[in-house]
Amino acid sequence: MGGKNKKRKREERPSIHPNNKYSENPPDFSHLASLYPSFQPFVQYSHNGYPTIDWTDFNATRELTRVLLHHHHSLNWWIPDGQLCPTVPNRSNYIHWLQDLLLLNIIPNGGSKVRVRGFDIGTGANCIYPLLGASLFGWTFVGSGMYVCCFYGCCGNTKKIDFFFEICVIGCRCN
């Protein structure tokens, strides 16, 4: 009874999907700031010279998201103040994990040339899953939402892009 408490070691799980472009190369804030002057004011350097941003600053995270989507996906993206601002590497993980599930062929799909069509419930103004799914894998989406501002934000983010996207706005409430 006098034995030491031993904690079980947890198996280390990868935090980022191996096919995610950020798995081996996280965003280089210095490089991005040199390419996108609008991002420069948000890049700060730690005492050891490591570039970072203030993750609590909505404008900084919005600009980082805008820059990453433009730089790596050729997407022109913007959201109004006060909307959810997604992190691109994390949201890319979800799309890659969905692709893994689809490749398991749990649901018979009739062959490898089947088009994937997603339904994003609560798409929001950022429209991140449809944008990444279309950019990474050519998927199409139906998006749904409840707020008018999300509808207009999502429309602005998808009308400039060469892929098919449908938006269903359910409810239409104002903030």
**Residue 7 belongs to some domain of the structure:** no
Q: What is the pTM of this model?
A: 0.80
Number of domains in the chain: 1
Q: Is the dihedral of CA 59, 151, 170, 135 positive or negative?
A: negative
Neighbour-count burial of 112, counting CB atoms closer than 10 A to its CB (0-12 exposed, 13-18 middle, 19+ buried)? exposed
The whole-number pLDDT of residue 143 equals: 78
Residue 22 covered by a domain: no
pLDDT for residue 141: 82
Question: What's residue 27's pLDDT?
Answer: 95
Number of Cβ within 10 Å of residue 36's Cβ equals: 16
Sequence letter at residue 71: H
C-alpha closest to that of 152 among 172, 130, 133, 132: 172
Range of the domain at 56: 29-173
Residue 66 within any structural domain of the chain: yes
Q: What pLDDT score was predicted for residue 164?
A: 47
Q: What is the CATH number of the domain that holds 130?
A: 3.40.50.150
Q: Could you give the CA distance from residue 16 to residue 91 in angstroms, rounded to a whole number?
A: 10
Least confident of 45-49, 66-70, 89-93, 113-117: 113-117
